[in-house]
Amino acid sequence: MTHAAATHQTSMGLDNRKMAFWAFIGSECLLFGSLISTYLVYKGRSVVGPYPHEILNIPFTSVSTFDLLMSSLMMVLALAAVQRGDMKWGKIWLFSTALLGLVFLGGQVIEFTEFVHKGLTMSTNLFGCTFFVLTGTHGAHVAIGVLWLLTLWVRALQGKLGPANAMTVEISGLYWHFVDVVWIIIFTVVYLIQ
């Protein structure tokens, strides 16, 4: 794909990739809306434990939430650096964002492992099933985001990412921030409202 094709604009004067990506994010709202609805509908209907209040670790998840919020800050700083042509800081912030994403994923692996050791699996009860599907789907989105960010970072290291490709970084940022806002809702609905 040539650069000219990549920056094609729609008849509304908007970038076609950005418009398509917002439509994709809209569809993702429906996906996560259905998963959160399913969790809420089955909330409190498990007939065997472990139950949410017995197993959820709020201090640990609060740290994960802080980590993801800070990764969003790193992402906007990366975009600002790339837009002004400061590729040194662009690379640093992009890598920092991916690193914080990896830390979040590590936390999720630790949490899931602990839950399995305490007897909560997808087939244990309704809470286990809906919890693992919802948070696992979110985790998969984070993993895709980390891969995307690392790809951009490698392209930056190769000198193939600059102010001319700022829209590419902005679109990856949209994805990353969406993953963040989904976690904001999951943290409240699943962890804090028990």
Minimum CB–partner distance for residue 60 and other proteins (Å): 11
- Let me know the angle formed at the C-alpha of 161 by 169 and 79, rounded to the nearest 5 degrees: 30
Write down the least CB distance from residue 107 to other proteins, Å.
Answer: 15
Least CB distance from residue 125 to other proteins, whole Å?
Answer: 17
3-class state of residue 43 by DSSP: coil
92 touches other proteins (CB under 8 A): no
Among 23-31, 100-108, 133-141, 143-151, which window interacts with other proteins (CB under 8 A)?
A: 23-31
Give the shortest CB-123-to-other proteins separation in angstroms. Answer: 22
Regarding 54 and contact with other proteins (CB under 8 A), the answer is no
23 contributes a contact to other proteins by CB under 8 A: yes
Burial class, 193, CB count within 10 angstroms (exposed 0-12 / middle 13-18 / buried 19+): exposed
What b-and-e string marks burial along 42-78, b requiring 16 or more CB atoms within 10 Å of the CB?
ebeebeebbebeebbeeeebeebbebbeebbebbebb
In this complex, which beta carbon is closest to other proteins, that of residue 76 or of residue 103? 76
Distance CA 2, CA 73 (A): 31
Q: How far is the CB of 128 from other proteins (least distance, A)?
A: 19
Binding part of the chain for other proteins, among 30-38, 105-113, 122-130, 147-155 by CB under 8 A, reads 30-38
In whole angstroms, give the CA distance from residue 75 to residue 90: 9
The burial of 86, by beta-carbon neighbours within 10 Å (0-12 exposed, 13-18 middle, 19 or more buried), is given as middle
User: Using the rule CB under 8 A, which residue among 46, 52, 65, 129 binds other proteins?
Assistant: 65
**How far is 43 from 46, CA to CA, in rounded Å?**
7
The count of residues interacting with other proteins (CB under 8 A) is 55
Residues in touch with other proteins (CB under 8 A): 7, 9, 12-15, 17-19, 22-23, 25-27, 29-30, 32-34, 36-37, 40-41, 58, 62, 65-66, 69-70, 72-73, 75-77, 79-80, 83, 163-164, 166-167, 170, 173-174, 177-178, 180-181, 184-185, 187-189, 192-193
